[in-house]
Amino acid sequence: MSTQIQEPATGDCCGCGDARRKDGEGSEKRWRRYLPVVASLLLLAGGIVWDWPWFCYVLAYLPVGVPVMRQAWAAAGQKDFFNEYSLMLTATVGAFLIGEYPEGVAVMLFYSVGELFQEAAVNKARGNIKALLDIRPNAATVLREGDWREVRPEEVAPGEILLVRAGGKTPLDGLLLSDSGSFNTSALTGESRPRTLRQGETVLAGMISIDKAVEVRATKTYADSSLARILQMVEEASSRKARTELLIRRFARVYTPAVFLLALLIALVPSLVVADYVFSDWLYRALIFLVISCPCALVISVPLGYFGGIGAASRKGILFKGANFLDRMTDVHTVVMDKTGTLTKGVFRVRDVVSATYGREELLALAAALEKYSSHPVAKAIVAAAGALTDQSITAVEEIPGMGVKGLQGEREIMAGNRRMMHRHEIAYDETIDSLVDTVVIIAVDRRYVGYIRIADEIKDDAIEAVSQMRALGVRRTVMLSGDRTAITEEVARTVGVDEAYGDLLPEGKVKYMEELKADPSKVVVFVGDGINDAPVLALSDVGIAMGGMGSDAAIEIADVVIQTDQPSRIATAIRIAKTTKRIVMQNIILAIGVKMIVMLLGALGMATMWEAVFADVGVALLAIFNSIRVLRSR
């Protein structure tokens, strides 16, 4: 069996081919793969039953042996002489030379059968990733010169209006122009329940309109869409190998030439110490040793296990950017979380507008005209509350991470931010604001306080469950870091059960806390966030997790794991999948090494036949493969 899962070709996710190809073509190709095995099996059975001459066994050998010869020749061309192909060829040709024709054919036949099972297992592991490819839109219906036209998604520019028919796939990210729409998001998020969106809310590429045609204004190019970003992440994931996988690969490179040497010693050394030495008998033992020593079970099942883990996670809307991050997630000691958008919904609503100088609507319009340039959830809430009142001109806009936004309206300087922003610019404000628990945006014009807006946020439905599950999975410490006020941060932490909470933090403050938490290199620290101000901490953590549904592009790019559903309970799901994957991988390693060592010893002592070696080798490999794909079915 092949000792590696092939890397994906450029533009082809994990080597699974074009998702748009016809099913008939794939079925026909699979049947062609089975024919040599069936032919060899029938000829071998006929030879054993009717005692055919030796050349009939050669005919039975060729259908399954020639492909392996080609592989061995190709590897030799790359100066790789010691691999499972040369090992199998040596064992089978040696069996023919000493007259063990049925055994020689059987070794190669069952090796090929094992390859077919491996191929089926890999295809199953790739199924969830192929499902992502299947949701790629073929075309986009765009409004141009008063008519709806069919174009390629790559040809649509931001700002153009798209029509998504009932049952159709949204080709690009955009804003919903219709009053409402119900969408199937399962391929992106793993959620089976449809999501209802209202006018002005974000629709992601790959979402399927369920009940009616809707209009969407494109906000990104196809290359920058959420779907394209997901596909790129999955394509790149298989190139980042887990530590266990890399160790097994290095082990196989040393192990295979070592067993060649040991087999040679088993065949020749006894001639120096055994009185009734018979070369053919000891060569037979050496060949048995070679057959059972094939490292297929190890070198296939370990990467297949990690590949299955990545596929199982993607089905749950969790995208691991590499198997190495699956490995790290098994040893999580501390989980650090941002508050807004991670444990709280980040869907803010304006609760109150308090003006000291202007009218209520005028103050709200002024704040919204400035905040519309920010992507922060609080800013979006203010813009949504203002509605059509936002039509004011603001220039020289500057967003200050962790503080707020400022800009110019004509000659006037407008500021909208938190208390830290006011303190930095020495702006006095109403002292009663300090006693408020809600999030507060303070407005200043020309460095003078003119009012404030109270914003309310809600804790996510599964936040309490998320923290409880993390603790049950062995997470020793949970911490919340937030740029929001300490009082608000501590209240949310108490509600959801987080151990420690720190508020009033700028991005550099979060970095400082993360450096302190990482002082002990033996403890794996995970950070979960979604905003652009979380990017430095995501990069610093051992494993950075981004909430991808509403998170910023910077956070998603830097993160090691992306949770498409924005559900904090999926953090625990990611840990659980990582632990299941690692457990299955370790089971495969112990099974393969244990059984092989026992049968190798029996073969060297003359207590095992070639048939037993064949069934032991193929059997262990198949058990390891079936065990590897269990992660896809694990709950």
pLDDT in tens, 431-460: 888 877 678 899 999 999 999 998 877 888
CA distances from 235 to 111, 239, 308 (A): 29, 8, 14
H or E element: which one contains 149? Answer: strand 147-151
The answer on pLDDT for 366 being more than 80 is yes
Confidence band of 10 (pLDDT split at 50, 70, 90): very low
The stretch 478-500 carries a mean pLDDT of 88
pLDDT in tens, 280-290: 888 888 888 87
The pLDDT score that the predictor gives to residue 13 is 33
323-344+459-559 folds as Rossmann fold (3.40.50)
Q: Could you tell me the two tokens for 497? A: 């059960």
**Cβ contact 414:407 at 8 Å:** yes
Which range has the worst mean pLDDT, 129-133, 508-512, 615-619? 129-133
Question: E strands of 290-394, at which residues?
Answer: 318-320, 332-337, 349-355
Among 173, 338, 457, 462, which one carries the catalytic annotation? 338
pLDDT in tens, 314-329: 878 888 887 888 888 9
Burial class (CB in 10 A: 0-12, 13-18, 19+), 390: buried
Confidence band of 177 (pLDDT split at 50, 70, 90): very high
SS3 call for 116: helix
The pLDDT score that the predictor gives to residue 613 is 76
Confidence band of 191 (pLDDT split at 50, 70, 90): low
The pLDDT score that the predictor gives to residue 482 is 85
The pLDDT score that the predictor gives to residue 320 is 86
pLDDT in tens, 55-90: 888 888 899 888 889 988 988 888 877 777 787 788
pLDDT in tens, 555-598: 677 788 888 877 899 999 999 999 999 998 889 888 888 887 88
The pLDDT score that the predictor gives to residue 248 is 60
The pLDDT score that the predictor gives to residue 480 is 93
Q: How far is 538 from 545, CA to CA, in rounded Å? A: 7
Break the chain into its structural domains and give their ranges.
17-125+240-312+578-633, 135-225, 323-344+459-559, 349-456
**Cβ contact 65:108 at 8 Å:** yes
CATH superfamily of 349-456: Calcium-transporting ATPase, cytoplasmic domain N (3.40.1110.10)
Residue 78 phi, psi (nearest 5): -100, 15
The pLDDT score that the predictor gives to residue 12 is 36
Q: How far is 365 from 160, CA to CA, in rounded Å? A: 27
The stretch 386-401 carries a mean pLDDT of 80
Q: Could you tell me the two tokens for 433? A: 């604001």
The pLDDT score that the predictor gives to residue 182 is 86
- In percent, how much of the chain has pLDDT > 90? 17
The pLDDT score that the predictor gives to residue 463 is 92
Q: How far is 491 from 482, CA to CA, in rounded Å? A: 12
SS3 call for 87: helix
Query: Which residues have CB under 8 Å from 616's CB, separation 6+?
Result: 292, 595, 596, 599, 608
Which range has the worst mean pLDDT, 107-116, 411-420, 518-527? 107-116
SS3 call for 567: coil
Task: Give the Cβ contact number of residue 326 at 10 Å.
Answer: 30
The pLDDT score that the predictor gives to residue 18 is 38
The answer on pLDDT for 31 being more than 70 is no
Catalytic (active site) residue 338: yes
135-225 folds as 2.70.150
Residue 98 phi, psi (nearest 5): -100, 10
Task: Give the Cβ contact number of residue 385 at 10 Å.
Answer: 19
Helix-strand-coil split of the chain, %, nearest 5: 55, 15, 30
SS3 call for 210: coil
Confidence band of 476 (pLDDT split at 50, 70, 90): very high
The stretch 226-244 carries a mean pLDDT of 58
The stretch 240-260 carries a mean pLDDT of 68
Q: How far is 512 from 220, CA to CA, in rounded Å? A: 35
